[in-house]
Amino acid sequence: MVEALLAVILAGVALGEVPYFHFNRATFALVGAVVVLVLGVILLNTAYQAIDLNTLALLFAMMVFTAHLRLAGFFELAGQILARFAHSPRGFLALVIVAGALFSALFINDTVVLLFTPLVAQLTLALELDPLPYLMGLAVSANIGSMMTPIGNPQNILIATSSGLGFEAFASALFVPGVLSLGLAWLLLSWTYRKSLRPRPLAGAVLKRIRVHKALLMKSGLALLVMIGGFFLGWPLALSALAGAALLLVTRRVKPVKVLGKIDGTLLLFFAALFIITRAVESTGGFKALLAWSRPFLAENWGLFSAVSALLSNFISNVPAVMVLKPLIPTLADPSKAWLVLAAASTLAGNLTLLGSVANLIVAETARPYGIKLTFREYLKTGLPLAVLSIALTAGWLTLPYFAQKP
């Protein structure tokens, strides 16, 4: 009975909507968490203890960084720099892919694509280019780039705070497969869209004047250095990010409401509710039996573990998938490697289909007002082979003997 109820709740979270009701994932998760508590599946104190404050603090701090960069005009400036260096269709595609990956590795990927999609759409239309390969490049590179660091996406933030893996250990393990996956993305997109990416000189785009808050931009750069310095000094990830965010919040120029109004409270609420739901799932006899049954199959078979992580991430979304698989990790032979495989597979699974990640949906919906239709079928032509190849490549890379000795 309890297992069936929790399965319904997770299915609702995965779908993100219920017929005749105005639910989103956050409200469904919150209602599900309250139902679990009211029915006594777990106690209220247990629910409070289940909420990982380190994850929420790190997520909040990264939102503060992104909000300040938006206010400073950083992303518009980056878009104009891309346009100035665009000399050929395939060269411009490479620039979009690199920029999408780089910024998604440092900031939450959903926010990056939300800000960059209008810029890419406007630039490609101004340059008389087919916008689809560039928007595809932005979507898949944002997913790949976010895999490469513990602060690139919500599921990596959760994995980093749960595993204790530092920024350096995380990034050094996933940097090479990330770069190789970006190369695969460029090759696949260049082949799929070979007709519209034929070599030709690009006419310069007419760039509108943008307002850049130079002082805020410099301060954001300083705060970013404080955060990265904290990472390499061995500070906890959450503390490093909060230190940088606190520096940004000490200001005479920017009203707090401008920054705090851009904080995604819905995402923080979603995480808190999911922590409660997954603790309830962990307490059930059915889940414990499933863990015991699956452990022998997944203990050393990293290919199978990657496949399970990727499929579960597409079925119930990547953050819930990570939370469901989290109790299994400490029981495996090499937990550190298992955390990295889970981070890679759950993130790269986002490239399987248009519905695989929130970042993909943001790109498709934000491009629609510009008359650009990125359909499920269109996305599948590149996304599916890229996801399969990049997951296999990353799993193979992480099985090298070098990583067996990593703490």
pLDDT at 406: 47
Task: Give the 3-state DSSP-derived string for the chain, with helices as H, strands as E and coil as C.
Answer: CHHHHHHHHHHHHHHCCECCECCCHHHHHHHHHHHHHHCCCCCHHHHHHHCCHHHHHHHHHHHHHHHHHHHHCHHHHHHHHHHHCCCCHHHHHHHHHHHHHHHHHHCCHHHHHHHHHHHHHHHHHHCCCCHHHHHHHHHHHHHHHHHCCCCCCHHHHHHHHHHCCCHHHHHHHHHHHHHHHHHHHHHHHHHHCCCCCCCCCCCCCCCCCCCCCHHHHHHHHHHHHHHHHHHHCCCCHHHHHHHHHHHHHCCCCCCHHHHHCCCCHHHHHHHHHHHHHHHHHHCCHHHHHHHHHHHHHHCCCHHHHHHHHHHHHHHHCHHHHHHHHHHHHHHCCCHHHHHHHHHHHHHHHHHCCCCCCHHHHHHHHHHHHHCCCCCHHHHHHHHHHHHHHHHHHHHHHHCCHHHHCCC
Which has the closest alpha carbon to 75: 206, 205, 211?
Answer: 211
Sign of dihedral through CA atoms 20, 24, 25, 26?
Answer: negative
Q: With a cut of 60, say whether residue 124 has pLDDT above it.
A: yes
Q: Give yes or no for a contact between 323 and 275, defined as CB atoms under 8 angstroms apart.
A: yes
* Other residues' Cβ atoms within 10 Å of the Cβ of residue 378: 16
Q: What percent of the chain has pLDDT over 90?
A: 43
Q: Could you identify the residue written with the tokens 């603090």? A: 57
pLDDT at 407: 41
| Residue 204: pLDDT band with limits 50, 70, 90 | low
pLDDT at 183: 97
pLDDT at 282: 84
Q: Considering the entire predicted model, what is its pTM?
A: 0.83
Summarize pLDDT for 261-310 with one digit per residue, the tens. 888 888 889 889 988 998 898 888 888 887 787 877 776 788 889 999 99
Summarize pLDDT for 44-100 with one digit per residue, the tens. 999 999 998 988 998 899 889 989 988 998 888 887 787 777 778 999 999 999 999
> What number is the average pLDDT over the span 133-145?
96
| Residue 405: pLDDT band with limits 50, 70, 90 | very low
pLDDT at 95: 94
The Cα diameter of the chain in Å comes to 66
pLDDT at 324: 86
Stated length of the chain: 407
Task: Give the 3-state DSSP-derived string for 111-163, with helices as H, strands as E and coil as C.
Answer: HHHHHHHHHHHHHHHHCCCCHHHHHHHHHHHHHHHHHCCCCCCHHHHHHHHHH
| Residue 207: pLDDT band with limits 50, 70, 90 | low
Look up residue 325 and give its two tokens. Answer: 């698989």
Q: Which residues are within 8 A (CB) of 343 and not within 5 positions of it... i.e. 6 or more apart?
A: 147, 150, 155, 156, 159, 170, 174
As a whole number, the mean pLDDT across the chain is 87
